[in-house]
Amino acid sequence: MTKAAIFVCGLGVLLCSMPVSAEQPVFGEMPRWAGGWGVQAQHEARRNGDEDSQWLHVDGVYTWERWIRVTAKVPFRLDDNPGLGTPTLALPLKRYFNLDGRSGSWTIAPQWFVPIATSSANARMEQMKLSVGYETEAYRTHIATSAGILRRTDGLWEGHLHVGTGINLHSKTSSGHIKLKARLRLRSDGGYSARIGPTVYWRFSDRWHGQLAYKHSVLSDGYLPRYSLRSGLAIVF
């Protein structure tokens, strides 16, 4: 069996077994009401192989209706090769549900990676992506899965699988969660990578939100090992 055939079979298993959507602003949580909008800013310290870099991610979201929203993610590189990275536009469409003791949603999200990075060192390989996802939470537990397929600028295809699970935390005036998140990438030429790490999110108020996330490579073949630490704040209206 060829590498491309193995990739297609493996991707089919992922898409059938785990629905998906990579995190969208604001921190995958807000806003969930018509006319709501928000902005988040995150600093990222990243290592790809032996190269260290610093990034600022400025992301925004607007919710037309509870089930339809548009998001934009704009990265800026801050270190020795400063400039604009590859922005991402997405149109997440959601279907919410409420069951006895838990709630959740299904998501489908087409995404476009805008090719306007200021240098090849800042540019991403992705062109377009389609992802689907599922998440559900009870008072104490939270589970989310997502999977997607994307086309790259070099003609290859990638499959992505995201899985996150954790516990919800509550105080008298605020709430949040602690999750363990993992991401697997499969490429049509046989390359693959996997990263894992914890995420801590907190809703300080209905308006202010914060998040700290760390991920490190555990598998890598055809990709540079990546380690990243992101910290950020968001405001919602």
Instruction: Name which of 8-12, 123-127, 158-162 the model is least confident about.
Output: 8-12
pLDDT in tens, 118-151: 999 899 999 999 999 999 999 999 999 999 999 9
* Residue 98 predicted with pLDDT over 60: yes
pLDDT exceeds 90 at position 234: yes
Residue 28 · residue 105 · CB < 8 Å:
no
Residue 116: burial class (beta carbons within 10 Å; 0-12, 13-18, 19+): exposed
Q: Torsions phi, psi of 201, nearest 5? A: -120, 145
Alpha helices in the chain (DSSP H): 3-17
Sorted by where each begins, the domain ranges of the chain are 3-236
In the structure, what pLDDT confidence band is assigned to residue 22 with cuts at 50, 70 and 90? low
Q: Of all residues in the chain, what percent are helix, strand and coil, respectively (each to 5)?
A: 5, 65, 30
User: In this predicted structure, what is the pLDDT of residue 30?
Assistant: 83
Residue 193 has pLDDT above 50, yes or no: yes
pLDDT: which is higher, 111 or 3? 111
Q: Locate the DSSP E strands across 153-191.
A: 157-170, 175-187
Contacts of 41 (CB under 8 A, 6+ apart): 56, 57, 58, 59, 232, 233, 234
Q: Tell which CATH classification among 3.30.342.10, 1.10.20.140, 3.40.50.150, 2.40.160.40 matches the domain 3-236.
A: 2.40.160.40
pTM of the model: 0.88
- The residue with greater pLDDT, 172 or 179, is 179
Give the whole-angstrom CA distance, residue 144 versus residue 182: 11
Q: Which residue has the higher pLDDT, 3 or 176?
A: 176
- Residue 124: which of 116, 135, 132, 134 has the closest Cα? 116
